[in-house]
Structure 1
Amino acid sequence: MVEQSAGESKRHTPARPIRVPELMWKAYGRVCERLDTDRTNDLLGHMKARVLEHGTDADKADLARAEQELSERRARKGGRPAQS
């Protein structure tokens, strides 16, 4: 997989496809809905927790910069979309 340069990542948040069985994806979506979240936010929370628990100082610094980037993006776009 080709890594993006810092300038490219500033334009948009790239999609990261993963392979998941359809039934698992649907079940996960229903669980997230019951938990009043969505798959994206749930997965982001899981990734953040893993980095905080197991990451090096450099990993945690990257996480802090990534969270700042997400915050700036959401501010430009009017925040997170309303959850239904």
Structure 2
Amino acid sequence: MADDKDHTFSTRFRIPRRMWDAYGTAAARQGVDRSADLVDHVRAFIKKHGNEQELAELTAAEQELAERRARKGGRPPKKEQSA
């Protein structure tokens, strides 16, 4: 469980730099933000494979995100991609 409700948790993981860079350029080409894409992947994985406790944690996390976005004026708009 998260102790600090004022900030989104930041984590580190190991990935080859070339893979991360390739992911970034492929995501950018599709107009996708890497961070949002990773959060979407984690959300889908928990929905598919999570047990009752993990699904409850996901629900609480979604509520936390909704409250944070409401305080900060919502999700930032996607930047328009220049051709």
Bucket of the pairwise TM-score, normalised by the shorter protein: 0.7 to 0.9
Percentage identity across paired residues of the two chains: 46
Q: Which has the higher contact order (CA 8 A, sep 6+)?
A: 2
The unaligned stretches of length 5 or more in structure 1 are: none
1:66 partnered with 2:46: no
Which has the higher mean CA deviation after the structures are superposed, 58-67 or 28-37? 28-37
Kindly tell me: are residues 57 and 4 of structure 1, through their superposed partners in 2, closer, same or farther at Cα, counting changes over 3 Å?
closer
Q: What SS does structure 2 have at the residue aligned with 1:51?
A: helix
- TM-score norm. by structure 2 comes to 0.83
Q: Which runs of 4+ in 1 moved over 4 A?
A: none
Select 1:42's aligned residue among 37, 45, 55.
Answer: 37
| Structure with more helix by fraction | 1
The unaligned stretches of length 5 or more in structure 2 are: none
Work out the CA distance in 1 between the residues paired with 2:2 and 2:46: 21
Amino acid at match of 1:51: I
- TM-score norm. by structure 1 comes to 0.82
Which whole-Å deviations, capped at 9, do the CAs of 1:3-41 have from their partners, x for residues lacking one? 753xx2x11112111112211111111121123221111
Work out the CA distance in 1 between the residues paired with 2:15 and 2:49: 24
